[in-house]
Structure 1
Amino acid sequence: MFNTPLPTVNELPSTRKLVRSTVIALLTAVGLLVTVVMPSEYAVDPTGVGRALGLTQMGELKIILAQEALADAAPPQAAAPAPAPQVAQVQPIAKPAAQPAPTPTSALKTNQMSVTLKPGEGTEIKFEVLKGKSVGYEWTAVGGPVNFDTHGEPYNGEKGYFHSYNKGKQVKSDKGEFTAIFDGTHGWFWRNRSTNDVTITLKTSGDYLGVKQ
């Protein structure tokens, strides 16, 4: 049997220290709950730290998997009984007169426009294009080469987000076609890095809704 001496009053932590330790532990727990547990388990990220660490995406994936599991576990609905077949008397049907097939209307649009850039000046021309629609284009720069970026921005997308289809530096022309990967505005940005005025002429043909310049 061991006799352990009891601690003296001076060796015991004071009430102030106990309260401070409790408050620190509580704040730490709340911080972990908000920045780690809630994003990773429930995809709730009020501070944005969870998405930066990849925990919010983990929580979203868990929710999707749980929804799919519930859908798989749901009992199949019984099919409604098929109605009893009815015997109908066959009546001769008059053959309708042949109608000419309607001529399909093309959704393709064509445009040609020009813009002049002073030294150091930049501009862009955008088209409203829906996902899966294609636009063919050809542009030329007269007066000197330009830097360009062919890109698109989704409707109601995150601020600063864009998708680049093609880009280049010190180029006098470009030709090709792009297919929109989302609904939004798609087009070109040019910058004149020369010491002369540069005129850019753009020709387009495709299934787009309108032009924004």
Structure 2
Amino acid sequence: MKNQPESNTIDIPVHSNITLLKASIAATVIAAVVLVTAILPAEYNIDPTGLGKSLGLTKIATAAEASLPSDKPMTNIMATTDAIIIAQAPAVAEIKDLRAKVEGLRQDTVEIVIAAGKGLEYKLLLNEGEHLEYEWRTDGQPLYFDFHGEPQGDKTGFYESFTITTSDQVKGTLTTPFAGSHGWYWKNKTDEPITVTLSTKGAYLIKG
């Protein structure tokens, strides 16, 4: 008796269109039931069947709503005449103090003529810890300068120099180490007048 050859063919069952349609309808019904009885009560506090309340699902949505901020904006934008500051929103009690600080900000641009062979000072009055932004440039020739500060009320002649060099343009910032006058002394060593264009930004008064 001869052995029959083994078959390597695998029979894959093929579902009819009716079977697939029934499975799709069943999946849709199950999804709708889960949506109505679980997702809506838990996420949106919508409970048309009352089952979500009995299962405690509506408490989840209520707790999420209570945690949302309702009395503070996400970002507070305050504009002054010369600057815009974007900050995290303060509490209601802090708004008045914050405005008082911002109101001191200003921005100025001036032209200062340094006569030939002469020196000249230009000063700003600032409180301790203020942030000053500045930029200046000449209309041609470089100038020797001393950027320094003098403490308020000092009668000893003390001053602190921040930069001493020669240049035709400088841009930088300063956080004042003390209250007093802060500014520049320029020396024109040429035979022609030199004009300095100075731009400043911060909370200060101009001493000149």
- TM-score, normalization by structure 1: 0.50
The residue that corresponds to 1:166 in the other structure is: 163
Aligned-residue offset at 1:185: 0.5
Matched, 1:145 2:142: yes
Distance 1:174 1:99 in 2: 42
Matched, 1:176 2:152: no
Distance 1:193 1:200 in 2: 14
The residue that corresponds to 2:202 in the other structure is: 206
**1:163-213 per-position Cα deviation (integer Å, ceiling 9, x unaligned):** 1111212x10111011111110111111111122100010001122x0011
1:129-144 matches, cutoff 5 A? 129-144=126-141
**1:119-168 per-position Cα deviation (integer Å, ceiling 9, x unaligned):** 11111111111111110100001131111111000111133210111121
Aligned-residue offset at 1:98: 5.8
Whichever structure has more strand as a proportion of its residues is 2
The residue that corresponds to 1:26 in the other structure is: none
Give the stretch that moved more between structures: 132-141 or 112-121: 112-121
Aligned letter for 2:121?
A: E
Matched, 1:194 2:190: yes
What is the number of residues matched between the two proteins? Answer: 115
The residue that corresponds to 1:73 in the other structure is: none
* Selected match of 2:152 from 155, 173, 181: 155
Distance 2:140 2:182 in 1: 26
Distance 1:131 1:98 in 2: 35
Q: Is the 8 A contact 1:143 1:196 kept in 2?
A: no
Distance 1:177 1:98 in 2: 37
**1:53-77 per-position Cα deviation (integer Å, ceiling 9, x unaligned):** xxxxxxxxxxxxxxxxxxxxxxxxx
1:43-82 matches, cutoff 5 A? none
Partner of 1:143, secondary structure, is: coil
Distance 1:146 1:98 in 2: 55
**Root mean square deviation of aligned Cα:** 2.1
Q: Which runs of 5+ in 2 are unaligned?
A: 1-69, 74-91
Aligned letter for 1:115?
A: I
Larger Rg: 2
Q: Which runs of 5+ in 1 are unaligned?
A: 1-96
Amino-acid identity (%): 32
Aligned-residue offset at 1:99: 8.8
The residue that corresponds to 1:13 in the other structure is: none
Distance 1:199 1:173 in 2: 12
